[in-house]
């Protein structure tokens, strides 16, 4: 031991610096068993994890439905644009030229 610790031990002497509450050791077993019983009444951690899994599944489902809806609307919009484009092209063709195109035979 170092010299400083020996000096401290001489100052303290045989006196105990710590105090234990009354009946601590006789009540310890009963208090310990009551703490165990209180923990047994708590819900298991599995149910807490199950709740998080349910939240994660709901969020994944929400994103999936949102994505599929977006793709459906986008495809519908593309189809409408294609139809409008075809209508526009047909409106640019003169009726006489269109009739000539339909009645011309390609018997060459």
Domain boundaries, the chain: 3-103
For residue 69, count other CB atoms closer than 10 A to its CB.
10
Which has the closest alpha carbon to 94: 102, 84, 83? 102
Torsion angles phi and psi, residue 21, rounded to 5: -60, 155
Q: Is the pTM of this model over 0.75?
A: no
Give per-residue pLDDT as tens, 41-86.
666 666 667 888 889 999 999 999 999 999 999 988 888 888 888 8
Tokens standing for 10?
């001489």
The SS3 call for residue 69 is helix
Name the CA radius of gyration of the chain, rounded: 43
Q: What 8-state DSSP symbol labels residue 10?
A: H
């Amino acid at each position: 031991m170092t010299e400083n610790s020996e000096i401290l031990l001489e100052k303290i002497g045989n006196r105990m610096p710590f105090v234990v509450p009354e009946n601590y050791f006789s009540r310890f077993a009963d208090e310990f068993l009551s703490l165990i019983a209180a923990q047994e009444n708590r819900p298991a951690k599995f149910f807490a994890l199950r709740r998080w899994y349910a939240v994660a599944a709901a969020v994944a489902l929400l994103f999936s439905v949102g994505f599929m809806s977006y793709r459906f609307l986008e495809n519908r919009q593309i189809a409408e644009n294609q139809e409008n484009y075809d209508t526009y092209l047909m409106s640019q063709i003169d009726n006489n030229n269109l009739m000539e195109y339909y009645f011309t035979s390609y018997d060459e």
